[in-house]
Chains A and B, each alone.
Chain A
Amino acid sequence: MAAILPERKDQVQRKDGQAAPDLACGRASAAGSVSQRACVFCGSRVVLYPIADALHLVHGPIGCAVYTWDIRGSLSSGPELHRNSFCTDLQERDVIHGGEKKLYRCLTELIRHYRPAAAFVYATCIVGIIGDDVAAVCRRVAAEQGLAVIPVHSEGFKGTKKDGYRAACDALMQIIRPAADAARAAGEGGTLPFSINLLGEFNIAGETWIMREYFKRIGVEAIATLTGDGRVADIRRSHRAALNLVQCSGSMTYLAKQMEEEYGIPFKRISCFGIEDMAQALYDAADFFGDPAMDVRARDLVREELSELLPLLQEYRRRLEGRRAAIYVGGAFKAFSLVRALRMLGMKTVLVGSQTGNPDDYRQLRELCDEGTVIVDDTNPLELSGFLREQEVDLMIGGVKERPIAYKMGVGFCDHNHERKIPLAGFIGMLNFAREVDNSVNSPVWQFMPGHRNVSHSGGIV
């Protein structure tokens, strides 16, 4: 087996026909590990960032702002204020004397200048330590400027990326709640017919637009997408939806639960990756609304899309049949879809893992995967490269830090994270995914890798 930190032995499993204990997960990474995980701030920032007409101000040292500046291809059809990087750039004197005054000045300046629809203020590690009362500054500016100024409690050390998702959801509730209260008071709080919100959909490479279009075709109106191509006004209306569809469940289930509790909006987990899951998402929505006509429309839509798609996919399947894949993604729910999507291409998932899966996720993964598959929680490059070799992987699916690891080992790669540049969601997304996988797995460049069957170990062609 690949080298594994002793503390991590129970975070790695091989499906081998035997009953196995639950995979250990949800714990902090061992100190000293080269973890692929990020922090609370990162979790909050990626969730809220796509709200395009809001001001996003990072209260902290410059790095936190720089590393989250326009890195996530969350597209906007209108305003692009979110793609700028605003930072209080805390200096030593601020650390000593406190950063509240500077925060107040920066926030006021920015709001006066841009008149955003709302403002989010992200607290970073250091703000938590020096004890700035970010919430108080936000309240004051909100009162003075007359707009929602929301503190996001995203101090990096206060947990994992998951806790950052929670902090982001709390921040969103601070937008939704006052709007819902006001609407109710005005007698306008009623549920809109055939309406949904899309939660955990971030419009990477324009995926939100594809999703919304599908739902529109079956007669469902998406009130708000949280947060892809997001607008504050839509988020304010989101409490009037009949149903919440939760896509990236790791990030947004918490919000869905709160909205269920406070506004009685039920929610369903969906995935828009792969044909089966995408179709299921549409059927689930139609089923929920209990409208036979909608059901027919959903089936028609799936049939139409598939009649175009399946013949094209057959060709990719022919080229990919029998190849072996590794998946390492942020949330485990996406991994389910990917295992199924790869299966549709004739590929076998031999290694699968996530940064933030829970025991239930890993049980399901175990059920879904073939015998011999290795399942990992919070892995690291050393383990990953060991498994890539051991499991004879042809394709790795991951994010920015995994790409060069795969390439160095002569393994094809597909980014299914922030850096995907073409939509991988929906039916068209499945075709894009197949094309991208084929493009990398079957690239002629791999024939030149030392160790490849045509290449001697010294690098020369045999």
Chain B
Amino acid sequence: MTLLRHTTADVKERSGLTINPAKTCQPIGAMYAALGVRNCLPHSHGSQGCCAYHRSTLTRHYKEPVMAATSSFTEGSSVFGGQSNLLQAIENIFTIYKPDIIAVHTTCLSETIGDDIPQIIAKAKEEGKIPAGKFVIHVNTPSYVGSHVVGFSGMVKSLVDYFAVATDDKRRTINIIPGWVEPSDMREIRRLTAALGVETIIFPDTSDVLDAPQTGQRQFYPDGGTPVESLRKAGDSLSTIALGLSASGAAARALDAKCKVPCDILELPIGLRATDRFIDALRRAARVHVPEALNRERGRLVDVMSDMHQYFYNKRVALWGDPDQLVALSEFLIDLDMRPVYVVTGTPGREFEARMARVLAGKISEAKVRQGSCADMFLMHQWIKEQPVDLLIGNTYGKYIARDENIPFVRHGFPIMDRVGHSYFPTVGYQGGLRLLEKILDAVLAHKDRESSEESFELVM
């Protein structure tokens, strides 16, 4: 493939240039998070293209209609500010699309010209453009800071900032902030908490929004999403379990600060130990017993891990994507006796390196971990050219390397634009662990089948 002849084996330091990124910009994360709120219309305050790009990318991944409005900036708005666009947008949206909430996120354009969103929202309220019982919320998502994960995290925190209240009516509910995972993962988390008999408030929740069933009816706002009422009551919960520091930590801490709801920030429950910690945290927080059915579920995962370990021993793995996924996946891989040797995320943040170091714990001394600027697929490919790996795990952007270097590839994370179905099967929890195991082994053995010479091509493996 000529495409990646452009990658050279020698790693050369670059001065800020990014080639084949392992991140994207903040606003798309804010859009995805807002889609997990019931009857909420995400709104992009900027040029039309941003909104179109985010909707297209989310559609390519989730294979569902993605609704979001835009301020449709013109040259005039970029000179005089976007206030009148946003005011008109708010009026139009409540008239035609009738959401309960408009969730505004900014763009690099509106950030740089300095639009003051809270002031514009206040003005809209003053002018009666926000009907009674309806809300306009916002988050600042300058595209030149952080990444899509930061935008997601920011919008989830805004849900707390705008809605959560502490009243005297304390409840026995546990808040769960699931992070940027698939709708199926959010559904699986709900199933696990229900199995434990724990009453929860999960936010955001894109299940039944971005995996809505075929009803023959076109619903502008599908039935899923966390209702405003639940977001409000999150302030009265017993405690919060946040899954993934990068995507969910900020909201959990904000809720603690604002409503004195204590939080437990865990890694995503991907793999055996992370799921154990999640279940245990739930058990302790809600003071419940783990039902036998769940223990048996766990037992099945452990059983399959032992069935498969012979195939996994010492396999070198390269991973890329978002920090929360990478940390959790790495831990699981190490427990399976694999070696996560290259780990890359474009999302900046030093704490990622510390979290990875905890997981690697000196066990994978050859591991290379890189975050932030110039941590991209080009660098990943150079590392692989220097010393190859046995398996790739990450989003669709790895397919060039997989083809060029002939390495088995398991798609995981966001975005996956060249397959259908990923958003319907969880990778969190014990069940999710089973699915990951099956996918990994299938990829490894399919590769072996394809590459084996005829005499070593075997029926039983």
Contact with B along A41-72 (1 / 0, CB 8 A): 11000000000000000001111111111000
* Interface segment, one of B91-99, B382-390, B452-460: B91-99
Q: Nearest Cβ distance between residue A92 and chain B, in whole angstroms?
A: 5
Q: Are B60 and A130 in contact (CB under 8 A)?
A: no
Q: Are B46 and A125 in contact (CB under 8 A)?
A: yes
- Please determine whether B17 and A385 come into contact, CB atoms closer than 8 angstroms: no
Given A92-B145, A106-B15, A450 and B92 contact (CB-CB distance below 8 Å): no
Q: Within the assembled complex, what's the spacing in Å between the Cα atoms of A28 and B66?
A: 21
Would you call A449 and B216 a contact (CB within 8 A)? yes
On chain A, the residues within 8 Å of B74 by CB distance are 28, 157, 159
A61 near B144: Cβ-Cβ < 8 Å? yes
If A129-B109, A130-B112, A385-B218 touch, whether A88 touches B16 (CB-CB below 8 Å) is yes
One of B25, B65, B78, B92 near A405 (C-beta < 8 A)? B65
B56 / chain A contacts, CB cutoff of 8 Å: 67, 400-401
Within residues 1 to 48 of chain B, which ones have a CB less than 8 A from any CB in chain A? 1-3, 6, 8, 14-21, 23-25, 27-28, 41, 43, 46-48
| Contact indicator B216/A452 (Cβ below 8 Å) | yes
Q: Which residues of chain A have C-beta atoms less than 8 A from B73's C-beta?
A: 125, 156-157
- B147 A30 Cβ-Cβ under 8 A: no
- Complex partner residue of B373 from A37, A91, A407, CB under 8 angstroms: A91
Is the pair A129, B112 in contact by a Cβ cutoff of 8 Å?
Answer: yes
Interface string of A170-191 (1 = CB under 8 A from B): 0000000000000000000000
**Nearest CB in chain B: distance from A77 CB, A:** 10
Query: By the criterion CB–CB under 8 Å, are B109 and A126 in contact?
Result: yes
Q: Which residues on the B side are within 8 Å of A86 (C-beta)? A: 17-19
Known contacts A30-B72, A35-B52; decide if A5 and B214 are in contact (CB<8 Å). Answer: no
Chain B residues whose CB sits within 8 angstroms of the CB of A30 once the complex forms: 72, 88, 92
- C-alpha spacing A311/B217, complex, angstroms: 38
0/1 interface trace, chain B 182-193, chain A, CB 8 Å (1 if under): 000000000000
Q: Which residues of A contact B145 (CB under 8 A)?
A: 91-92
Q: Does B143 contact A (CB under 8 A)?
A: yes
B85 within 8 A of A: yes
Please determine whether B24 and A31 come into contact, CB atoms closer than 8 angstroms: no
A to B contact number (C-beta, < 8 Å): 255
- State whether A42 touches B16 (Cβ < 8 A): no
Whole-angstrom distance between the alpha carbons of A113 and B15 in the complex?
13
Q: How far is the CA of A391 from the CA of B140 in the complex (A)?
A: 41
Complex CA distance for A106 and B73, rounded to whole angstroms: 29
Contact of B60 among A38, A129, A381, A400 (CB under 8 A): A400
B346 part of interface (Cβ distance < 8 Å) = yes
For B75, give its contact among A3, A85, A113, A158 (CB under 8 Å): A158
Which of B14, B68, B86, B142 lies in contact with A34, CB distance below 8 A?
A: B68
Residues of A with C-beta under 8 A to B18 = 62, 65, 85-89
Residue B311, interface by CB 8 Å: no
Number of B positions contacting A (CB below 8 A)? 81
Interface 1/0 per residue, B377-400 and A, CB below 8 Å: 010000000000000000001000
Q: Tell me the minimal C-beta distance from B109 to chain A in angstroms.
A: 4
When distances are taken between beta carbons in the complex, the residues of chain B under 8 Å from A160 are: 48
- A102 CA to B18 CA in the complex, in Å? 11
Beta-carbon contact of A31 and B72 below 8 Å: yes
Bound-state CA distance A42–B55 (Å) is: 14
Residues in A neighbouring B230, C-beta threshold 8 A = none
- Taking the closest CB of chain B, its distance from the CB of A332, in whole angstroms, is 19
Say yes or no: is B64 at the interface (Cβ < 8 Å to chain A). yes
The answer, yes or no, to whether B319 is at the interface (CB within 8 Å) is no
- Greatest chain B CB density within 10 A among A41, A67, A68, A449 is at A67
Nearest CB in chain B to that of A58: its residue = B18
Interface assignment of A205: CB less than 8 Å from any CB of chain B:
no
Of A125, A451, A452, which is within 8 A of B107 by CB? A125
Cα separation A105 to B373 with both chains bound (whole Å): 15
Closest B residue to A60 by beta carbon equals B108
- Tell me whether A95 is interfacial, beta carbon within 8 Å: yes
Kindly state the interface size class of chain A when it binds its partner: 35 or more
Map CB proximity to A onto B114-146 as digits: 1 under 8 Å, 0 otherwise. 000000000000000000000000000011110
Q: Does A88 lie within 8 Å of B17, measured CB to CB?
A: yes
CB contact list, B387-446 vs A, under 8 A: 397
B25:A159 contact, CB within 8 angstroms: no
State whether A40 and B49 are in contact (beta carbons under 8 Å apart), knowing that A32-B89, A401-B59 are contacts in the complex.
yes
Contact B373 A89 (CB under 8 A): yes
Pair B24/A102 contact, Cβ less than 8 Å: no
Nearest residue (CB) in B for A39 is: B49
In the complex, what's the smallest C-beta–C-beta distance from A286 to chain B, in angstroms? 36
Interface membership of A314, Cβ < 8 A: no
Across-interface contacts of A7 in B (CB, < 8 A): 92
Chain A, residue nearest B71 (CB): A31
A81 within 8 A of B: yes
Question: Is the pair B89, A85 in contact by a Cβ cutoff of 8 Å?
Answer: no
Interface contact B112-A95, CB-CB below 8 Å: yes
Does B65 lie within 8 Å of A408, measured CB to CB? yes
B334-352 to A contact mask, C-beta < 8 Å, 1/0: 0000000000001000000
Residues of B within 8 A of A34 (CB): 41, 67-70, 97
Q: Is B91 a contact of A63 with CB atoms below 8 Å?
A: no
Residue from the set A28, A60, A114, A450 with the largest chain B CB neighbour count within 10 Å: A28
Interface residues of B in 285-327 (CB under 8 A from A): none
The answer to the question of B252 belonging to the interface, with a C-beta cut-off of 8 Å to chain A, is no
Contacts of A88 in B (CB 8 A): 16-18
Cα-based distance from A3 to B373 in the complex (angstroms): 45
User: Which A residues touch B70, using CB under 8 A?
Assistant: 29, 31-35
Q: Does A29 lie within 8 Å of B17, measured CB to CB? A: no
Question: Digit string of A109-124 for contact with B (CB within 8 Å is 1, else 0)?
Answer: 1100110000000001
- State in angstroms the CA–CA spacing of A66 and B49 once bound together: 13
Q: List A contacts of B65 (CB < 8 A).
A: 381, 401, 404-405, 408
The answer to whether A157 touches B216, judged by C-beta atoms less than 8 angstroms apart, is no
Cβ of B92 and Cβ of A5 under 8 Å apart? yes
The docked-state distance in angstroms from the alpha carbon of A84 to that of B109 is 25
Q: A residues within 8 A CB of B217?
A: 409, 450-451
Bound-state Cα–Cα, A31 to B373, Å: 34
User: Please, how many angstroms separate the alpha-carbon atoms of A81 and B6 in the complex?
Assistant: 7
Please list the 6 inter-chain residue pairs (A to B) with the smallest Cβ-Cβ separation, ordered nearest first.
A39-B49, A63-B25, A32-B89, A32-B92, A451-B216, A156-B47
Query: 18 new A-B pairs (CB below 8 Å) besides A5-B95, A92-B144, A405-B65?
Result: A30-B92, A31-B85, A32-B90, A38-B49, A63-B28, A69-B20, A86-B17, A87-B18, A88-B16, A89-B16, A95-B142, A125-B109, A156-B47, A159-B75, A401-B52, A403-B59, A408-B64, A408-B218
- 26 A-B pairs within 8 Å (CB atoms) are namely A6-B95, A29-B70, A32-B88, A37-B52, A61-B108, A62-B25, A62-B346, A65-B21, A66-B23, A66-B24, A80-B1, A80-B2, A80-B6, A84-B378, A87-B19, A88-B17, A90-B144, A94-B144, A106-B17, A130-B112, A157-B78, A158-B75, A159-B75, A388-B218, A404-B65, A408-B218
**Which residue numbers of A lie inside 8 Å of B, CB to CB?**
3, 5-7, 28-42, 60-69, 78-81, 83-92, 94-95, 102, 105-106, 109-110, 113-114, 124-126, 128-130, 156-160, 381-382, 385, 388-389, 400-401, 403-405, 407-410, 448-452, 455, 457, 459
